[in-house]
Chains A and B, each alone.
Chain A
Amino acid sequence: MSRLNEVFKKLYKIGLVVTFAYFLLFLFYDIHNLDNNRKRYLSAHYISEGVQETGAINLVASVLYDYRAFDTLGEATMILTAATVLAFLVPISKATTFGTTFKSIVKQTVKLILPYLAVLGTYLILFGHVSPGGGFVGGVVLSIIAILLTITYSVEFSEYIVKPDQKKLVEDIGAIGFVLLGLLGVFTGSNFLANGQAYFGTGNAGEVFSAGLIPFINVMIGLKVGAGLAIIFNSLIKEK
């Protein structure tokens, strides 16, 4: 009898999920039937006026760091919260290492790769407003340097090269620098985190030194994301 009960429970759950899928089908049918051009005033405005107003030819960067920069501040706070929670949960204990040690081929290869990773991350951050990329992606690439050091050598060596206090300091510099760059807009008589409206000199669109505050905000986001992910990974390794 209990076996029949189990089968009934499983069929009940499958039926729930299938019913849910059936209702989602109607919902998405309505989403797809939205008139593609008539109801999107905001997107049309960004596409037609975005390059002149912000000076960045990558429209994703101009939405993230100029029009909707306040939301980006909140999303960057999420990573700070995650790193803080992990550093709070994991006690300061002796680090545990993996079971195997690598041969010298892996170590030499990693040593060869690291400078190219640093160049790639810096390129992605600095050219974030003229090409795909930006602070979030470049920061993740920069954090991979510390993560590769941790995996191939050990936690002790990685924390000897980049100290934990230095990582926390870099993350705090990123967080505070973002807010200070936002206050720059208030001092010139405009809104918080204003860039295009505050007349910072957007320059010629398409060059590296253009688009006002957007490259500096990219650098701050990159520092913050890179240091935060490195802290998260090292905390995960240290938990035994």
Chain B
Amino acid sequence: MEIAYVAVIILFCLGIYTIITKKNLIKIVFGVTIVESSLILLLMLVGYKPDGTAPILDKEYEIVVDPIPQALALTTVVIGGSVTAVMLVMVIKIHRRYRTLNIDEIRKLRG
């Protein structure tokens, strides 16, 4: 399971790279979504134990995975969706005012 941490690092850095280099505003929101997904994957990996069962204890159990990161991640998913909606409404507002989504031209228009 150690290689999975490398995957988390690649996804996180890909999201950061998208945020700092891409010109389109919608692509930047895609980058934020990728960063969120990688952090949720990191929480799941921290809570995982080998040969563990899911934290629903209706039968006999020996090893149970950690329930606290799952409780954190469950709210993070829903909150992340609503925050993404707020960002997209901001994008629509900017497009209605400046008639463009290119971030360089928006900076130029501000003077």
Q: Do chains A and B touch in the complex (CB under 8 A)?
A: yes
Which of A's residues lie within 8 Å of B, judged by CB?
10, 13-14, 16-18, 20-21, 24-25, 28, 31-32, 36, 40, 42-43, 46-47, 50-51, 57-60, 62-64, 68, 72, 75, 78-79, 82-83, 85-86, 89-90, 130-132, 134, 136-137, 140, 206, 225, 228-229, 232-233, 235-236, 239-240
Which of B's residues lie within 8 Å of A, judged by CB?
2, 5-6, 8-10, 12-13, 16-17, 20-21, 46, 49, 54-58, 64, 66-68, 70-71, 74-75, 77-79, 81-83, 85-86, 88-89, 92-93, 96
Query: Chain A residues with Cβ under 8 A from B56's Cβ?
Result: 57-59, 130-132
Secondary structure type dominating chain B contacts = helix
Query: Chain B residues with Cβ under 8 A from A50's Cβ?
Result: 67
Contact (Cβ within 8 A) A136 B78: yes
Query: Chain B residues with Cβ under 8 A from A46's Cβ?
Result: 67-68
Query: Chain A residues with Cβ under 8 A from B67's Cβ?
Result: 43, 46-47, 50, 59-60, 62-63
- Nearest-Cβ distance from residue A22 to partner chain B, whole angstroms: 9
Contact (Cβ within 8 A) A24 B68: no
Q: When A21-B10, A32-B2 are in contact, do A75 and B92 touch as well, CB less than 8 Å?
A: no
Q: When A13-B20, A25-B9 are in contact, do A236 and B75 touch as well, CB less than 8 Å?
A: no
